[in-house]
Amino acid sequence: MLTVEADPARVEIRLSAGELICPDCAGLLCRWGWARSRVLRDATGGLMAVRPRRTRCVSCGVSHVLLPVFALVRRADMAEVIGAALAAKATGAGVRVIAERLGRPVETVRGWLRRFAARAETVRRFFTVLLVDAGVDPAPPGTARTVFADAVAAVVGAWWSMTSRWPAVGTVSPWLAACAVTGGILLAPAWPAKKINKSRP
């Protein structure tokens, strides 16, 4: 799985130009069909059909699905919707309040929060390292009330740090940036991410 920008036309242009590289061996990626179509829900409950491009590395032969930056692996809601739920939980909101605010089933929101909580310390460490590595003059966030809140603060802090080095990152939300650097697996069973996405969106 490799995270790319939201615009599929731009992804095709980058593929043709040889700008997308394999996250395993740094070889060039070429077109190799399409992955299964998905339907994602946005913040208003609107639906968006997505059919990710499938690619194959010309060097190692491994195939990779190019997941749009707004999508998380195995989730039906866009990353910013899930990120809003995580941020609300970090400030102390309860699951029912969050679910009502976002217009999502309580069990769906509870699943997001439980999955994130189960790996909160790993997420905190990953994004704190990214914050320090990416920043021009990094300042790690202070300790929050909970490990969950610490992890959310690290995600946001890493985003701020990346914007100091790459200002264009500031045009997207912290949750889209989190998708980009984890390859969309923020809430997937495959956590932790082994490597930062080499083909920045």
pLDDT in tens, 39-70: 999 999 899 999 999 999 999 999 999 999 99
On the question of pLDDT at 189 being above 80, the answer is no
Q: Are residues 150 and 86 in the same domain?
A: yes
Tell me: pLDDT of 199 over 60. no
Q: In sequence order, what E strands does 27-183 have?
A: 29-34, 38-41, 47-50, 53-57, 63-68
Do 58 and 38 reside in the same domain of the chain? Answer: yes
- Compute the mean pLDDT over every residue in the chain, rounded to the nearest whole number: 90
Residue 9 lies in a domain: yes
In this model, does residue 197 exceed pLDDT 90? no
Same domain, 83 and 169: yes
- Any domain includes 93: yes
Confidence of residue 32 (pLDDT cuts 50, 70, 90): very high
Report how far residue 131's alpha carbon sits from residue 158's, in angstroms, rounded to the nearest whole number. 4
Residue found under tokens 């699943």: 111
Domain that holds residue 59: 2-68
- pLDDT, tens only, 132-156: 998 777 776 777 789 999 999 999 9
- pLDDT tens readout for residues 88-100: 999 999 999 999 9
